[in-house]
């Protein structure tokens, strides 16, 4: 059996782009979650159904490879499938395609179900995976891990406070906001002149409304190493490879 693919069109509009007119990484991640949700709803697995089982889906890791970020006004196709899963982890793949069907971005995500009762990772309910035609396997693909920041590096730090509007309908901070915190530490001119080609991110601990987070970055050649911390606790680590525009 092979997992069902789901596609939907998406038009890139001005508030989804940066000042170069390209889709932001934060919005790209929003679109990955959107197409996942929409596939779930299409298969009768909407949020209400998932929550009814006492769990909620949470992403723990992404690996995103970008050929070209979509531009303002471009209509792209979002495509996904829930490729495989085991007892605790679901592996999902994504494609962003241009009008000619060329892949602009390819992403992989690791999802887990969190129990509302225990606030811990729960066994994935079978009824949440069966409709996807997802393969049950003991060996899931592993996503490349982001690198830890070197101890003696020159670290650039910016503080951010988690805002009310960073929280989405499931009561959690929308993961996409991490990308604004991560990348805003880099100089504007660098962001204008470079495009991310490979993004690895791992979410380790949840941040909450009102938390003060620090976004730390080490810049070495064509790579930036990031971490988001709340006090001394690491909330997320990420590595981004860049190319010159």
Chain residues binding a copy of itself by CB under 8 A are: 13-15, 17-21, 24, 26-27, 30, 33-34, 37, 72, 163-165, 167-171, 174, 176, 180, 183-184, 186, 188, 191, 209-210
Q: Which is nearer to a copy of itself, 101 or 159 (CB)?
A: 159
Nearest-approach distance from CB 152 to a copy of itself, in angstroms: 28
Q: Nearest Cα to 178, choosing from 148, 153, 213?
A: 213
Nearest-approach distance from CB 36 to a copy of itself, in angstroms: 10
Nearest-approach distance from CB 210 to a copy of itself, in angstroms: 8
* CA 172 – CA 175 distance, rounded (Å): 8
* CA 195 – CA 106 distance, rounded (Å): 15
Nearest-approach distance from CB 165 to a copy of itself, in angstroms: 5
Nearest-approach distance from CB 155 to a copy of itself, in angstroms: 18
Nearest-approach distance from CB 229 to a copy of itself, in angstroms: 18
Q: Which is nearer to a copy of itself, 36 or 227 (CB)?
A: 36
Beta strand extents in 25-143 (DSSP E only): 55-66, 75-85, 90-97, 103-115, 121-122, 135-136
Q: Which is nearer to a copy of itself, 169 or 232 (CB)?
A: 169
Q: Which is nearer to a copy of itself, 104 or 176 (CB)?
A: 176
**Structure-token match 């930036």, residue found:** 224
Q: Which is nearer to a copy of itself, 26 or 124 (CB)?
A: 26
Q: Which residues have CB under 8 Å from 62's CB, separation 6+?
A: 29, 32, 107, 108, 109, 110, 143, 199, 200, 201
Q: Which is nearer to a copy of itself, 86 or 211 (CB)?
A: 211
**Structure-token match 């069966």, residue found:** 130
CB 36 within 8 A of CB 43: no
Nearest-approach distance from CB 159 to a copy of itself, in angstroms: 9
The 10 Å Cβ neighbour count of residue 141 is: 12
Q: Which is nearer to a copy of itself, 106 or 209 (CB)?
A: 209
Q: Distances from the Cα of 137 to the Cαs of 17, 162, 174, 221, 234, in angstroms? A: 38, 38, 29, 39, 30
The 10 Å Cβ neighbour count of residue 230 is: 16
Q: Distances from the Cα of 15 to the Cαs of 21, 103, 241, in angstroms? A: 10, 23, 25
């Amino acid at each position: 059996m092979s997992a069902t693919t789901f596609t939907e069109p998406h038009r890139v509009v001005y508030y989804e782009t940066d000042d170069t007119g390209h889709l932001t990484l934060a919005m790209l991640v929003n679109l990955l979650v959107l197409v996942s949700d929409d596939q779930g709803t299409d298969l009768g697995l909407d949020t209400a159904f998932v929550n009814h089982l006492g769990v909620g889906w949470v992403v723990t890791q992404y690996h995103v490879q970008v050929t070209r970020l979509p531009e303002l006004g471009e209509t792209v196709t979002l495509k996904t499938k829930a490729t495989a899963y085991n007892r605790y982890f679901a592996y999902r793949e994504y494609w962003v395609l241009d009008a000619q069907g060329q892949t602009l971005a390819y992403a992989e995500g690791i999802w887990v179900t969190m129990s509302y009762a225990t606030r811990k990772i729960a066994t994935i309910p079978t009824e949440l995976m069966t409709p996807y035609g997802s393969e049950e396997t003991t060996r899931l693909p592993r996503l490349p891990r982001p690198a830890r920041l070197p101890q003696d590096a020159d670290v650039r730090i910016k503080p951010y406070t988690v805002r009310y509007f960073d929280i989405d309908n499931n009561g959690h901070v929308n993961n996409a906001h991490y990308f604004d915190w991560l990348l805003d530490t880099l100089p504007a001119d660098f962001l204008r002149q470079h495009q991310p080609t490979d993004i690895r991110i791992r979410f380790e601990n949840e941040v909450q409304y009102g938390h003060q987070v620090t976004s730390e970055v080490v810049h070495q050649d064509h790579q930036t190493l990031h971490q988001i911390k709340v006090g001394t606790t690491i909330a997320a680590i990420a590595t981004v490879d860049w190319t010159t525009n």
